[in-house]
Structure 1
Amino acid sequence: MGRRSYLFLACALLGTFLNAQTKFELSKIHDSISVNGTTNESFALYLPSSFSQESLSPIVFIFDPAARGTAGIKPFISASEKYGHILVCSNNSRNAPYEVNFAIANNLFNHVFSSFNIKENQMYASGFSGGSRLATAIASLTNMFDGVIGCGAGFSGSQEHMPATHKFSYVGMCGDRDMNYTEMIENKNYLNLIQFNSTLITYDGEHDWPPPQQMLRAFDWLYLQRLKRKEPPPLSDVSNYLAADYEMLKKFRDSNQIFFEAEQLERMIKSYEGVLEIDSLKQQYTALRNSKRLKKQLAHLERLLETERNWIIKFSSQLNKDLENPKKVKWSWWEKELGKLGKLRSKNDTETEKMIFRVRFDLFVRLHSRQNPQLFQQNSEKSEFIKQFLSLLRSSAS
């Protein structure tokens, strides 16, 4: 599958031809454009105000886990207007087997490459949740993309779908109440270990597409990587990104968001080292890392993440058993355990509140995914169990 995808993309880019092009209104989402050569596939399209059919354009291929083309495009519009990206989001690719989604993606690529003049060195892939795993898989299999933005989830679990020696840059994005928050932190550590060009942007949010201002941060970072690859790097342009990063750093400090401050400092040092003078940044980061305040907060967070892992292991194990035999569910066990989780709440500890939210939402997503007929076999007993469990989750939240 990887080789087939790679050959298709390479041939499409080398042999691009333009069909008679329908003129689309600029700066507007066009929700349902039929994919050539298919009977029931479509995509959403956004062309920025700077778009010209006569010029080569950068592009972002977007994958939403529920095949919502318009919803997938909206977070990218600000970045599209700044950097001139064509935005394309499938209305058919969703949480489903990878073979199905690869075929849908190939059909989409075929249509787009035959309809638009694309800058082959400025192609980006992005997705949310299961779409994030798909976007990274496609970029890893083809190695034809300049960057990947993975939102709310990491990798598929298959080795060939993971970043390794590929040339693209990777941005992970995740809200701190997202049930995949721990996974995204672990992915960051893995990518750092293999020295893959990557960063992780966390923010105040749940399991959803990042808001436009966060998405713009991701593309600013990706385009900074492009500037750094030039020989020599245009220092005035790089300095403009540094100034914007300092503004963001000040916002985190002023709002007392110490985790975001530390993350921002770490990213700035990694981004500008060897290009600009950053001794001051290093001193600030060392001082913050050595501060009692951050050490205490990091130790507390690590304890909470370990607690979270234990809750999720216990809940997922019991959930799998109950799904195998939904007639013998011990509802009293679930009521008791969810009650224990709820008792961990503390009015003065927002990190514990976030941990509880992530555990509960992890349960919700596991149940919700079981309703997907493309991934799991359905029967009336399991459906009724899921319905009852979702009701229990809602009632126990209060």
Structure 2
Amino acid sequence: MKNLLLAIFVLSFINITAQEYRIKRGETTDSLPIPGDSDKTYSLYLPRDYSPEKQWATIFVFDPQGRGTNTANLFRMAAEEQQYIVASANLDLKSQPIDSIIKSATSMVNGILQSLPVDPELVYSAGMGEGAQVSSALAHIYKNMAGVMAIGNSFVNPAYIDKTSPYMFIGAAGKKDYMVYEIEKYLKFYDDLNFPTEVHYFDGKEDEWPEAIVVSNAMTGFTLQAIRDGLRPNDASFVQQLFEKEMEYAESLRRTRNYYAAYEKLERMEEKYEGFGFEDTIENKMKEIKTIRGFRSQRSDFRQAISFEKEQQREYEYLLESDIRSVNFENIGWWAYQIDELEKLKEGSDIAKSNMAHRLVGYLDFLTKREYNTIMEVKVPIDVKIFISVLRTAINKNAPEAYLNIISLAAADGDQDTALLYLEDLLKTGYSDMESLYNIEGALDLQFTPEYNRIVKKYLGESKFFKDQEIK
């Protein structure tokens, strides 16, 4: 026992850019410098039985907010069970230009390849949201990439795809994420190229990582493909363990009465484990689930929700374009009503409809934000800009840029009442950046008025101008 503990906690010494760092096996080490980018770092996880005597499969992970350690820990289960090194970037992808991000990501990959015993044929990347776009882009740069796991988003440039060197594409999306259909489009793109693909769904919404067991099940896709390609040994007992772990997840869905989700999971496993001798086991379990009372109704509910959702998406696109073109302020209330109704469905007991409502709210937010960003960048009449800004606040009550824009446009147009109304609405959302409230373009005269400062003081406890007694 003493020797076992010593083996688990033994220290590894790794030379990175001519410096030595103590890396504990079985633990995540944070803040390792990215070579050539010393102010940027990553987190590293080495499995407990890591040894420099052999080459290792390695996955590079990207989180939108740069939560390297937390994200690396999400991959620990898969790293231990399936023998992967995990390197997770501490890069805030939302606050940096894309060329800088790609440069840092590439430097991290090259640094690991040069300092650790990485198997060059077993290099993978994974990411969520903006991180999924980075991880997908890396496959265009590192030509030996074996696989990409894209959660909630992706990126592909067909011009840079080498059809003679296919890699595996694993797409994953939360059932409440409107991007689920975009992920399915990426999967079809790779399917059409005859690249190996796999899809995973989990109970989550946009900008959320799946739980560790879902990540582990997805990583199994990489591992099995490597076995098929002869890049990892075909160990029957090891594959059996992977299969049983995934079957346990399918069973957990069944036990929580997610019968249709369990059935779909088994359908995907049927293809995933083809050729490994588990066909009868999977088929029997699928037959068993189909006989459960409630399975057929869940399947029907799911199909109806999907059909209604796609119809609604088409209608929203048409009506939004029409309302923007006609600058129809009278229809703002209708859009707000749509959100209210969807919010009620989100809280309902019907899982299919609740997930659908989550996706539709996200889709409306995406549509209006896209139109908002486009309109703000072009020369159009002021009423068009005010309309799309007001619509944004109706769709997403926590979109500060739209409120600030209305204040700016209304003040510049001499409509102080509207500007003050949206100032108060903005502060009601909890917005507290006082400095920005006194740097709104076109609203300088308004910011000096007692009315403006009275509203700011009411919600923030202080204002920039006028003495307390003047704005009570």
TM-score w.r.t. the length of structure 2 is 0.65
Structure 1 residue 369: Cα displacement = 8.6
Q: Paired residues, what number?
A: 376
Distance 1:54 1:79 in 2: 21
**How much has 1:61 moved relative to structure 2?**
0.8
For the pair 1:110 / 2:116, whether they are aligned, the reply is no
1:294 and 1:160 mapped to 2: Cα distance? Answer: 44
Residue number in structure 1 paired with 2:128: 128
Structure 1 match to 2:20:
22
Tell me what 2:396 maps to.
390
Alignment of 1:172-183 (within 5 A): 172-183=171-182
Distance 2:70 2:184 in 1: 26
* 1:278 corresponding residue in structure 2: 279
Q: CA deviation at 1:353?
A: 0.9
| Aligned-partner Cα distance in 1 for 2:321–2:27 | 44
- Give the corresponding residue for 1:35: 34
1:353 corresponds in structure 2 to: 354
Matches within 5 A, 1:1-398: 19-26=17-24, 27-38=26-37, 40-53=39-52, 55-92=54-91, 94-95=93-94, 98-153=98-153, 155-156=154-155, 158-160=157-159, 166-189=165-188, 191-192=190-191, 194-207=193-206, 208-230=208-230, 233-276=234-277, 278-282=279-283, 284-285=285-286, 294=295, 297-313=298-314, 315=316, 331-342=332-343, 347-364=348-365, 390-391=396-397
The amino acid of 1:209's aligned partner reads W
Aligned 8 A contact 1:21 1:115 in 2: no
Cα separation, 2, equivalents of 1:274 and 1:235 = 12
Q: 1:54 to 1:324 in 2, by over 3 A?
A: farther
Gaps of 5+ in 1: 1-16
Letter aligned with residue 55 of structure 2: L
Answer yes or no: is the 8 Å Cα contact 1:58–1:119 preserved in 2. Answer: yes
- Helix, strand or coil for the counterpart of 1:220? helix
**TM-aligned CA distance change 1:389 to 1:275, over 3 Å:** closer
Contact 1:63 1:126 in 2 (8 A): yes
Q: 1:292 to 1:196 in 2, by over 3 A?
A: farther
- C-alpha contact 2:64 2:130 (8 A) present in aligned 1: yes
Secondary structure of 1:88 counterpart = strand
Give yes or no for contact 2:393–2:399 (8 Å, CA) kept in 1: no
Where 1:223 maps in the other structure, the secondary structure is: helix
Does the 8 A contact of 1:56 with 1:119 survive in 2?
A: yes
- 8 A contact 2:46–2:85 mirrored in 1: yes
> 1: CA distance between counterparts of 2:323 and 2:69?
37
Residues 326, 46 of structure 1: CA spacing in aligned structure 2 closer, same or farther, 3 A cutoff? Answer: farther
Which is greater in Rg?
2
On the 8 A contact 1:140/1:166 being kept in 2, the answer is: no
Higher relative CO (CA 8 A, sep ≥ 6), structure 1 or 2? 1
Return 5+ residue gaps in structure 2 as ranges.
1-14, 379-384, 401-424, 426-472
User: After superposition, what is the alpha-carbon deviation per residue over 1:357-398, rounded to whole angstroms, capped at 9, x for unaligned?
Assistant: 1222344466789999xxx979xx899766675327999xxx
Q: How much has 1:71 moved relative to structure 2?
A: 3.8
Higher alpha-carbon deviation: 256-265 or 309-318: 309-318
Conserved 8 A contact 2:172-2:199: yes
